[in-house]
Amino acid sequence: MDDMLGDSKAAGVEFSIRYEELERLIQEKSDVLDDVKEPVLVHWDLWDGNVFVEAGQITAIIDFERSLWADPLMEHYFSHFNNTPGFLKGYGRAVTTDSERKRRSLYDLYFDLALRIECPYRQYDNKEHIQWSIDNLEEGIKRFQLS
């Protein structure tokens, strides 16, 4: 999270709250990360376009550029974008405890930050996408504050 915010500062990305306030909130809520005892390989960019299916069976998964060793609940399909019953059934677990919900909140904020911060680095020029990333992050900050 520190690196993400550092990249954001370097790119001149602004938020609705001061960096110091966001850093304080993250620090206050990050103690739940101590509950993660065994990291697993998380794809972290698992979406329909990166999963090949043939005859009802997964035949390939591609695009591992965002993969990392992490809490299994960091996987993208647990996020506020994709939390679906089919994925939860196939994965064999759900977000059920207070600690898991708080960790998911941190992971959602991290992803929302990534989506916003990558815009200047990837030199996106689609104003609608940039505005979407700003709005999404602002909603994400509000969700995080309430978590």
Indicate the pairing of strand 68-70 with strand 40-42: antiparallel
Predicted confidence band of residue 125 (pLDDT cuts 50, 70, 90): very high
The answer to whether the beta carbons of residues 94 and 88 sit under 8 Å apart is yes
Digit-coded pLDDT (tens) for 12-37: 999 989 999 999 999 999 999 999 99
Helix H or strand E segment including 68: strand 68-70
The answer to whether the beta carbons of residues 141 and 13 sit under 8 Å apart is no
Average pLDDT over residues 107-128: 95
Digit-coded pLDDT (tens) for 47-72: 889 999 999 999 999 999 889 999 99
Return the exposure string of 87-111: e unless at least 16 CB atoms fall within 10 Å of the residue's CB, then b.
Answer: eeeeeeeeeeeebbebbbbbbbbbb
Digit-coded pLDDT (tens) for 99-110: 999 999 999 999
